[in-house]
């Protein structure tokens, strides 16, 4: 599956799959990025697109050394199911990735 593209003009990460667009909206301030909302079209539901999008967004936050604020319930739940991303959460007690 393709990587998400950061559309900074629209403040969202976008991923195209099967001619449909899934995205995560965000706000960014300094070294933090608040992940506000995830939208996956119903045509792509249950195909792993949301998980691939979340993984791509979190990998980009790690690459940019950003701390995340998971305001979106989908992203928060994804992190609970994938604890390897917990250290990205702002205020986390986990050690930072190196």
Interval 46-71: pLDDT, tens: 888 999 999 999 999 999 999 999 99
**How many CB atoms are closer than 10 A to CB 16?**
14
Judge whether 96 lies within some domain.
no
Beta strands across the sheet bearing 67-70: 5-7, 12-17, 20-29, 32-39, 67-70
Q: What is the CATH number of the domain that holds 13?
A: 3.40.630.30
Look up the domain containing 53 and give its range: 5-88
Question: Which regions in the chain score pLDDT beneath 70?
Answer: 1, 92-98
Threshold 0.85, pTM exceeds: yes
Region of 86 (left: φ > 0; alpha: ψ -120 to 50; beta: rest) is: alpha
Percent with pLDDT over 70 in the chain: 92
- Asked if residue 36 belongs to a domain, the reply is yes
């Amino acid at each position: 599956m393709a990587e998400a593209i950061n559309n900074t003009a629209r403040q969202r990460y976008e991923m195209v799959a099967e001619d449909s667009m899934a995205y995560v909206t965000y706000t960014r301030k300094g070294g933090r990025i608040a992940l506000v909302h995830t939208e996956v079209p119903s045509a792509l539901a249950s195909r792993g697109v949301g998980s691939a999008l979340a993984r791509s967004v979190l990998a980009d936050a790690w690459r940019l050394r950003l701390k995340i604020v998971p305001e979106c319930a989908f992203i928060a739940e994804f992190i609970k199911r994938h604890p390897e991303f917990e250290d990205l959460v702002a205020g986390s007690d986990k050690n930072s990735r190196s």
